């Protein structure tokens, strides 16, 4: 299958800093976006528990009325199985209304927390206990389990939203935000938000420069591009 080694410095600067990368962000994200963030989340899960097995299914979670999400991500720890029905949003500094988040050498977690707090308040409605954007809020609807999910007789299905951008609640800088929900209002008791930017920044602050992630379709797409062009005189 091959492997993808992620340069943490470069990927954070590409997505978190405004500038000339704006010209390339949407096209590059179209090629790698969902695979990139699902691969980073898998790395996060395995870092929490080295005995866990994490499987990313290529099939989209689908609802009966036609709505669908981006990935099933399965985590197995001994006999415990958690199936995350996952929505992925690559919103970054280059998105409409996106914010620039500083990336300072030797101070990787120094960014404007007031802005990352505002992002949480903007995406989550605490009173209605739902996401304010319908394209995200669909994660709170139970998706139909496919054949792979059905094979796990003892499982928990949980909603997960993986974002790129830094998101904080109450100024706590952690890659995961868990939100408890009244199950009389929604179909789940909890939803999890993951910030890829914060996770990579925390890795960098601990001295890690590169990580290997599951490639998904990234390698296949890059090979297709290499077959189409010959680049000379770089």
Tokens of 73: 């991500």
Residue 64 DSSP code: T
Give the contacts of 159 (CB within 8 A, at least 6 positions apart).
84, 85, 86, 87, 139, 140, 188, 190, 191, 192
- Judging by beta carbons within 10 Å of its beta carbon (0-12, 13-18, 19+), is residue 232 exposed, middle or buried? exposed
Name 4's bridge partners: 213
- pTM for the predicted model, two decimal places: 0.95
pLDDT at 234 over 70: no
Q: What is the pLDDT of residue 207?
A: 96
Q: What is the pLDDT of residue 50?
A: 78
- Per residue in 18-37, pLDDT tens? 998 999 999 999 999 999 99
Q: What is the pLDDT of residue 67?
A: 87
- Per residue in 128-183, pLDDT tens? 999 999 999 999 999 999 999 999 988 999 999 999 999 999 999 999 999 999 87
Q: What mean pLDDT is predicted for residues 187-211?
A: 97
- Judging by beta carbons within 10 Å of its beta carbon (0-12, 13-18, 19+), is residue 226 exposed, middle or buried? exposed
- Per residue in 79-120, pLDDT tens? 899 999 999 999 999 998 999 999 998 999 999 999 999 999
Q: Where are the domains of the chain?
A: 4-228
Please state whether beta strands 71-77 and 53-57 pair in parallel, antiparallel, or not at all (unpaired): antiparallel
Which pLDDT band, with edges at 50, 70 and 90, does 49 fall under? confident
Contact 71, 38 (CB under 8 A): yes
């Amino acid at each position: 299958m091959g492997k993808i080694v992620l340069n943490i410095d470069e990927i954070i600067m590409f997505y978190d800093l405004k500038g000339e990368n704006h010209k390339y962000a949407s096209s590059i994200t179209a090629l790698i976006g969902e695979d990139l963030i699902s691969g980073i989340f898998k790395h996060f899960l395995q870092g929490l528990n080295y005995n866990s097995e994490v499987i990313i299914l290529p099939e989209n979670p689908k609802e009966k009325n036609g709505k669908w999400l981006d990935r099933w991500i399965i985590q197995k720890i001994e006999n415990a199985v958690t199936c995350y029905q996952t929505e992925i949003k690559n919103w970054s500094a280059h998105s409409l209304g996106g914010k620039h988040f500083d990336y300072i050498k030797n101070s990787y977690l120094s960014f404007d927390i007031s802005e990352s707090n505002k992002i949480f308040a903007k995406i989550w409605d605490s009173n209605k206990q739902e996401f304010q954007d319908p394209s995200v809020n669909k994660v709170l609807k139970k998706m139909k389990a496919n054949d792979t999910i059905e094979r796990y007789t003892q499982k928990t299905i949980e909603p997960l939203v993986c974002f790129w951008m830094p998101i904080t609640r109450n100024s706590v800088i952690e890659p995961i935000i868990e939100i408890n929900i009244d199950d009389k209002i929604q179909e789940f008791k909890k939803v999890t938000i993951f910030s890829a930017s914060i996770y990579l920044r925390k890795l960098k602050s601990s001295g890690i420069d590169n990580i290997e992630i599951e490639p998904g379709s990234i390698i296949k797409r890059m090979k297709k591009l290499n077959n189409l062009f010959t680049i000379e005189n770089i």
